A and B are shown apart, each in its own frame.
Chain A
């Protein structure tokens, strides 16, 4: 399905190091419009680092990240601010501002960046919360919400200005299977009905199978992309490390796949 689709984000030769430690290298991939791209890999492989660089929260040591015609790595602060209006990000913890009510959290981008009236914003907040299943809870403080609800709240805030691209950092981390599944369902519904392009960082196998149109896998101790394809292609990959990940097996650099017990 990705054949004729337009490319939303193009990453080329991205290179990232922390001090002398090369974390990412030769990273090349495209995010197509309207697709759900999953970035996966073992803990510590640089998934979240890649996401942070796609958002230009940190500048890479080399390479480019194009959104449309603009290279984010070369863009000025003002251009970046402009581009980030098209982006929505759900951080791992939801990152709701603890001093504001849920409703004020969600309203914040709309208050800052649009000239809608207070009443319209209130309705906007209401309907976004309704979309994520938190209808009627706008008066609650983040501390009164469970972890899963905080994430949904963070998602409502990320979506309030109708972003073209939504980024998710470990959306199902720390959630129970039921909540996690309903969040996956929400991601799919939003993608299908609103056509939002999505970039999801995760290592949850169930989520990957449920939501990914396309996936790239980063390798631990290997700063490049290990494998790329649909979840099914990856599961049947020739690379032992990739297969081990998808079949939940132990793996060791020297001995390959280790038997279960």
Chain B
């Protein structure tokens, strides 16, 4: 006996009809379940989906479905959606991996990433050296634009952040220093701390956040829209064309930003010294000249030169490594910031140790 369908099946009532029909199907228990569609009203895609679903359920049980008295209009729909002979399921079943295999694979990937990175560092170094010999070949127009973007445009935020950090450090230590009556040493603390570490680090971190990420996103977008391939086939090497101008620009701007950050960090400390410790700006500056050597400032600036190459290089590298559309650009941008900050801190630690053993930190 056939199950007679005498209603419309649309998006509005599809779930209810499915429940009703699958109830009949369960009760009938026939090997071949017949549906009589002569009384079928409106049917839309949701209705088709209902029949597909019943069909799938029956197939799992090894039963069959059959339609009789199909109106012409509905027959066309059935043919279009291939209800009688649906295609097989997913194309590629997921591959199952053992833990060991996965560890091995990850190690191989890490090794190959490392090799790529070494190759990249080598190519960038060669291109930089080559550029020094051929300054006319450097794209100075781009360099000036990047100097503007990475340097001049960053001044307000660098000033604000450094001053706030200077304020915070001075304020936190003011209480301790006051307990020992060592008020004047606020100058040593701020002067040396800011010029050696806080200034260079603040400038570098802001450069990573503002420009390293922008480099990764820009180059990444160019990569996925085949612009890098276009450069290559025109015989223009991506590294001299895209990376070198950015590195030169950050080499010019980061030391300046560092000095700027030093200045505002010290100003922040000076404000707190006056407010909380009664150290006037005049005394502060006098003491500063005694406590802070030229080396303190220049070591920070020297470090910033290395940071500049590191940051621009990482941003551009992540950009060039981009693959996989809009998501890939997002991933590269995130990676550029994360690995940029990581490498920055590692490099800074190396400098601290290096300066110590060379007897340069006193």
Q: Across the interface, do B80 and A128 meet the contact criterion of CB distance under 8 Å?
A: no
- Residues of A near B81 (CB, < 8 A) are 127-128, 130-131
Q: Does B32 contact A (CB under 8 A)?
A: no
Q: Does B263 contact A (CB under 8 A)?
A: no
Asked, given contacts A120-B46, A193-B80, whether A126 binds B86 with beta carbons under 8 Å apart, the answer is: yes
Q: Across the interface, do B11 and A114 meet the contact criterion of CB distance under 8 Å?
A: yes
Complex alpha-carbon distance, A98 and B11, angstroms: 27
Q: Does A69 contact B (CB under 8 A)?
A: no
- Residues of A near B325 (CB, < 8 A) are 98, 143
How large, as a class, is the contact surface on chain A? Answer: 20 to 34
Complex alpha-carbon distance, A127 and B78, angstroms: 10
Q: Which of B49-57, B210-218, B271-279 contacts A (4 or more CB under 8 A)?
A: B49-57
Q: Does B326 contact A (CB under 8 A)?
A: yes
Q: Across the interface, do B91 and A120 meet the contact criterion of CB distance under 8 Å?
A: no
Query: What 1/0 flags go to A135-167 for Cβ under 8 Å of B?
Result: 111111001000000000000000111100000
Q: Does A119 contact B (CB under 8 A)?
A: yes
Question: What's the minimum C-beta distance from A149 to chain B, rounded to whole angstroms?
Answer: 12
Question: What's the minimum C-beta distance from A115 to chain B, rounded to whole angstroms?
Answer: 7
Q: Across the interface, do A136 and B87 meet the contact criterion of CB distance under 8 Å?
A: yes
- Residues of A near B76 (CB, < 8 A) are 192-193
Q: Across the interface, do A135 and B91 meet the contact criterion of CB distance under 8 Å?
A: no
Q: Does A173 contact B (CB under 8 A)?
A: no
- Residues of B near A239 (CB, < 8 A) are none
Query: What 1/0 flags go to B55-96 for Cβ under 8 Å of A?
Result: 010000000000000000000110011110011111110000
Q: Does B361 contact A (CB under 8 A)?
A: no
- Residues of B near A122 (CB, < 8 A) are 53
Q: Across the interface, do B80 and A124 meet the contact criterion of CB distance under 8 Å?
A: no
- Residues of B near A119 (CB, < 8 A) are 53
Q: Across the interface, do B49 and A123 meet the contact criterion of CB distance under 8 Å?
A: yes
Q: Is the interface of B mostly helix, strand, loop or mixed?
A: helix
Q: Across the interface, do B87 and A162 meet the contact criterion of CB distance under 8 Å?
A: no
Q: Across the interface, do B82 and A135 meet the contact criterion of CB distance under 8 Å?
A: yes
Q: Which of A116, A138, A143 contacts B11 (CB 8 A)?
A: A116
Q: Across the interface, do A124 and B91 meet the contact criterion of CB distance under 8 Å?
A: no
Q: Does A194 contact B (CB under 8 A)?
A: yes
Question: What's the minimum C-beta distance from A255 to chain B, rounded to whole angstroms?
Answer: 35
Query: What 1/0 flags go to A32-50 for Cβ under 8 Å of B?
Result: 0000000000000000000
Q: Across the interface, do B11 and A162 meet the contact criterion of CB distance under 8 Å?
A: yes
- Residues of A near B88 (CB, < 8 A) are 136
- Residues of B near A23 (CB, < 8 A) are none
Question: What's the minimum C-beta distance from A127 to chain B, rounded to whole angstroms?
Answer: 4
Q: Which of B52, B77, B82, B87 contacts A123 (CB 8 A)?
A: B52
Question: What's the minimum C-beta distance from B84 to chain A, rounded to whole angstroms?
Answer: 11
Q: Which residue of B lies closest to A97 (CB)?
A: B326
- Residues of B near A261 (CB, < 8 A) are none
Q: Across the interface, do B14 and A126 meet the contact criterion of CB distance under 8 Å?
A: no
Complex alpha-carbon distance, A139 and B325, angstroms: 18
Q: Does A76 contact B (CB under 8 A)?
A: no
- Residues of B near A120 (CB, < 8 A) are 14-15, 18, 46, 49-50, 53
- Residues of A near B49 (CB, < 8 A) are 116, 120-121, 123-124, 126-127
Asked, given contacts A99-B327, A116-B14, whether A139 binds B90 with beta carbons under 8 Å apart, the answer is: yes
Q: Which residue of A lies closest to B326 (CB)?
A: A98
Q: Across the interface, do B11 and A161 meet the contact criterion of CB distance under 8 Å?
A: yes
- Residues of A near B327 (CB, < 8 A) are 98-99
Complex alpha-carbon distance, A162 and B88, angstroms: 24
Asked, given contacts A99-B327, A123-B56, whether A138 binds B90 with beta carbons under 8 Å apart, the answer is: yes
Asked, given contacts A116-B49, A120-B15, A127-B45, whether A189 binds B89 with beta carbons under 8 Å apart, the answer is: no
Q: Across the interface, do B46 and A137 meet the contact criterion of CB distance under 8 Å?
A: no
Complex alpha-carbon distance, A136 and B88, angstroms: 6
Q: Does A78 contact B (CB under 8 A)?
A: no
- Residues of B near A140 (CB, < 8 A) are 91
Q: Does B44 contact A (CB under 8 A)?
A: yes
Ordered by A's residue number, 7 sampled pairs between the chains whose C-beta atoms are within 8 Å are: A116-B49, A124-B45, A130-B81, A136-B87, A136-B91, A137-B91, A161-B11
| Extra inter-chain contacts (8) besides given A123-B53, A130-B86, A159-B45, CB under 8 Å | A98-B327, A124-B45, A127-B48, A127-B83, A130-B82, A138-B90, A143-B324, A190-B80
Chain B interface residues toward A at CB < 8 A: 11, 14-15, 18, 44-46, 48-50, 52-53, 56, 76-77, 80-83, 86-92, 324-327
Chain A interface residues toward B at CB < 8 A: 98-99, 114-117, 119-124, 126-128, 130-131, 135-140, 143, 159-162, 189-190, 192-194
